[in-house]
Every structure is written in C-alpha cells, then in structure tokens.
Amino acid sequence: MNIWKHFKTITHHKVLVAKGCFKVGLYKQGLLHDMSKYSPTEFWVGAKYYQGDRSPNNAEREDIGYSSAWLHHKGRNKHHYEYWIDYSMQALPGGMAPVPMPDRYIAEMIMDRIAASKVYMGDKYTDRSPLDYYYRGTDKAPIHPKTKAKLLYVLEMLAEQGEEKTFQFIKEELVQHKRCMDWHQLGKAE
C-alpha cells in the first residue's frame, strides 16, 4: 500500500484545484473540492491501487471489474458530469439521461481536469492536455449537450489562449455571468 504517496497525490491535486477555483471566485468549492477522497471508502482503495501516473480507480476497475471508490466519489461531488444523470421522463421507461450542470460546477470540473492533468503528467503538461484528455474519453460520454458545449468551448479556449485568459472567461461567464454568452448562437448546444 502506498498510503503516503496517495495522500500526497490527492492533496496536491486538491491544492491545485483550490488555486484554480480561487482565481475564478469559487472559494467554497475550492476549499471543499474532493473531500470525499479522504473518506475511508475512497482513501484506502486509492492507497491500495496507487500508481502515481493515473487514477487508482482505473487500476481497481481492471482488478475487480468496477471501481467502488469511483461509485462513492461521483455520487458526492457535483463537479462530475456523472453526478448529473437522472431518470428521464422522455426516454424509455427506466431510461437514464444527462441533465444540464450548473455553470459553477462546470467551472469546478474544468479546474479538476486541469489539476488532474498537471498531477499525472508532470512536466509533460501543456494547456492542451485537458482537451486531449477530453477527446480520449469524455467526448462520447453521457453529458448533456449544453454542458458539453460549455466544457468543450472552454477547454478549446484553454488550449489556444492559455490559463490567464481562460480563467478570466470562466470567472466572467460561468461564475459571475457578466457576459451572458449565448451558447446556442455558437451552434454548439442543442
């Protein structure tokens, strides 16, 4: 078990997310981000499957076929799109469908992706890394079209314009709603 290394990794991640959240005005979310990772349900699994260069949840999935830590985590953290899946009244009976995420959680999700990329990639990280991660897995995920449009727009902005301009945009558009951007006008949302 890698108790100390896992603790340092999740704490480093949490600090990076907090710094990003603070820059865009999400102080409470920055402080409370990923607190469930310190719970026994998530922490001990993370320590057991720790590898240092990727999420221990993936190693747990490979070992037992699912991740108990992830199932616990996604149900308690609103910055994950998986939290925002509900039974749909329009889908087939019993069908599940994504619902739109509130903008403040989209902003936290972006900070989470940036921090995770920095932690796991180290010196190889670039402002394009979170967008590349999106295309490796999230692109086909069950995310509400409006949430997906906002996420992709901001990740592309990060890749092209860097953190400073992107964080300013996040603060003004997703947190303070100063710009009142019409996402439909971009042709990216349904």
* Tens of pLDDT, residues 71-113: 999 999 999 999 999 887 776 666 888 999 999 999 999 999 9
| Domain residue ranges of the chain, discontinuous segments joined by + | 3-175
Is residue 162 within 8 A of residue 127, CB to CB? The reply is: yes
Residue 141: which pLDDT band, with cuts at 50, 70 and 90?
A: confident
Token pair in block for residue 162: 């860097």
Query: Worst-scoring range by mean pLDDT, 30-34, 36-40, 51-55, 73-77?
Result: 51-55
Tell me if 52 sits within 8 A of 119, measured CB to CB. no
CB 176 within 8 A of CB 113: no
- Where are the strands (E) in the chain, listed by range? 85-87, 96-98
Model pLDDT for residues 47-57, shown as the tens digit of each residue: 999 998 889 99
- Residue 89 pLDDT: 75
Residue 183, pLDDT above cutoff 90? no
**What pLDDT is attached to residue 97?**
87
Mean pLDDT value across the chain: 91
| pLDDT for 65 | 96
Helix (H, G, I), strand (E, B) or coil at 54: coil
Residue whose token pair is 């692109």: 139
